[in-house]
Structure 1
């Protein structure tokens, strides 16, 4: 089977290369915003939206226009990829997978992509990579890039530049290890498995919340866009980067452990956006318990449930396993012993006691057991070809075998 995998490294450019990368990222951002403004203008005049080919023709005109001739200094392929990103954003919007495309802002997700592997040279022995109009760049070589290079993305985060090398290689069809397991996601326990084990939450944002608040307060006292304000902003960005890196590291370790030891993973199809929606309300209908709901929302978003599910999805595919998403309704109120459903079964947040048969267990373990049972039922229906209502929000049919 073919496996696509990305390998990310930190770049070590010199001053000239760093200035060039900032210019290239700015050129891609300018092309994206100019094309988006053009599409909106055509829509206001009742004209048809331009496709990718039409936008590429406009890009050629912009590169030869005296006012925007500086676009010719950047490589053309990354500029075309910016147009592809806009086309994909429109497709996601019309498919109701994302909001309407927004204009890009300087300093936020600055990146550009080289799609042609013929223009890329990777010298892993000397820890360097050749990119058009940038030349040879050093990078921190932490592991080997396996397979054939397909494309390269250069991105900036917290004042550092990174290169992501996507490769393709042929691997043998993997045989999954272990059996099936259900997972109940929560705040007090990040992930509780149906076998009784659990992963404690990291709370990476909560650990750095005090330092982040002080850094933001210090930045707020500076004159905006002054040198001291820029230094303070860099300190805030550094804390945010530390929070994100710690969370990603924890999620990768947890998802790798689970995917390598189980052939099928059943997980709740949680709608995180709805669960973390603000309860403030409006002036006519003010919300209730706004402060408590705000703290709960912060704890929910601190867990990274969606990213955890995304990582489980592709890692199980790599190991030949299955990911089954089931509706979360009544998973914590149903008795796994007798099947009685009642809100009285869960009288406390941590304890489950069935009012019908007296079964007692940790509430998160009960939720994981019910998720596992529902996952078995959904998987059996799809294998047999029976019709079963899909879980809301499934993005690529996780209950079917992948890989």
Structure 2
């Protein structure tokens, strides 16, 4: 069984909207009370309270606060788990030597939503291809909310649901969404693959994708296009008194603009990765650790960094391109079409420095955008050469990233037979490493 996320837009009436807002307020109140309890216990007694300690007090809390009963025990427990995960992430970053922010209190306006972690307490009833009804709770207090959404799975089992309260970035109006996790059979997840190409891809910033045949996919640069409008809004907000009505209005507009950029990026990457896996039998690219690639060059007081502003601009472009999101989408989409995804070990193979013609290392700086090999005389765009190198590496006999092909004196010929691939091929652990 595979797990897939689908999102439904909810259309609650006035009474249901009021009830959802009240439930959201109660979940935020429980979250804040549990956070305060942990802080007080450690300050006064030096004691750390676990999730299970707080979960065991829920029955007594519901006796004193009967308005929490309609929310459901499992939904209340999931809110406490959310706080526990926040603390786990905080201590994990502290242990790693970072300086994370301490878990903070959240108002109902900033509380993202609440979840039902299992099929208990809710039910999805589908009507046709797009219409649906979401039932929350049971008995007289149950909410039957109209929903609208679409997915391509005929056979599925609902697993959990998260109710999300947000503002539409285009209209600015408040709306509710239901993000539902479905357990789907492998056969129901399958996509039809229309081609059998083998493609090497070099993801980048100048162009979003460069292919081994020289073709390219342009980088839409959503952040750069929205930067003038974003800067104007931020300047205008800086002139307002913090916490005032106008300050909050401008903050909302800035938040909506950022959300619109994220939606455009996600839509673009979904379309590009889907088209790629449907036409390809083999996709070869290199591992990208965008967290390290976009690390700040600021340095420290003792050892200040160099070209900090230039590196900040490059980091912004790397993150705007959504390269990590593209890799994440490719990882699960290739299992649906039977495509093989090969991720080359970048440090071992050095695709940007290696010549695809003679396999020698040709040192280049970031400013060198054309690959010129003094040994074999090969000349081509740098990114196209990198895409060819990772594609040749994917044709190694053992299919392990960067181990077989990099050890050869010369690469395999471009006419080498493609790797055998069968329908519904699942990538190996080495391929997804």
TM-score (norm 2): 0.77
Whether 2:155 is the aligned partner of 1:140: answer no
The answer (yes or no) to whether the contact 2:2–2:184 under 8 Å persists in 1 is yes
Distance 1:341 1:5, change over 3 A: same
The answer (yes or no) to whether the contact 1:124–1:144 under 8 Å persists in 2 is no
Q: CA deviation at 1:319?
A: 1.6
Structure 2: how far apart are the matches of 1:198 and 1:38? Answer: 55
Deviations 1:190-243 (A, max 9, x none): 111223332211111111111112122222323333333332222222211211
| Aligned match for 1:336, one of 351, 356, 379 | 356
| Aligned match for 1:124, one of 123, 127, 136 | 127
Structure 2: how far apart are the matches of 1:179 and 1:109? Answer: 46
Whether 2:165 is the aligned partner of 1:156: answer yes
Give SS of 1:343's match: coil
Mean alpha-carbon deviation: is it higher for 204-213 or for 125-134? 125-134
Mean alpha-carbon deviation: is it higher for 169-178 or for 319-328? 169-178
Structure 2: how far apart are the matches of 1:263 and 1:287? Answer: 44
**2:413 aligned partner:** none
Give SS of 1:117's match: coil
Structure 2: how far apart are the matches of 1:60 and 1:123? Answer: 34
Mean alpha-carbon deviation: is it higher for 268-277 or for 158-167? 158-167
Whether 2:209 is the aligned partner of 1:191: answer yes
Structure 2: how far apart are the matches of 1:230 and 1:214? Answer: 16
5+ residue gaps, structure 1: 389-395
Structure 2: how far apart are the matches of 1:139 and 1:28? Answer: 22
Structure 2: how far apart are the matches of 1:188 and 1:206? Answer: 13
Whether 2:269 is the aligned partner of 1:251: answer yes
**1:392 aligned partner:** none
Whether 2:389 is the aligned partner of 1:370: answer yes
The answer (yes or no) to whether the contact 1:187–1:299 under 8 Å persists in 2 is yes
Whether 2:359 is the aligned partner of 1:357: answer no
TM-score (norm 1): 0.82
Q: CA deviation at 1:105?
A: 3.5
Give SS of 1:230's match: helix
Q: CA deviation at 1:187?
A: 0.3
Instruction: Show the 5 A alignment for 1:219-230.
Output: 219-230=237-248
Instruction: Show the 5 A alignment for 1:193-272.
Output: 193-272=211-290
The answer (yes or no) to whether the contact 1:194–1:366 under 8 Å persists in 2 is yes
Structure 1: how far apart are the matches of 2:398 and 2:16? Answer: 52
Structure 1: how far apart are the matches of 2:372 and 2:302? Answer: 40
5+ residue gaps, structure 2: 168-173, 408-426
Give SS of 2:325's match: helix
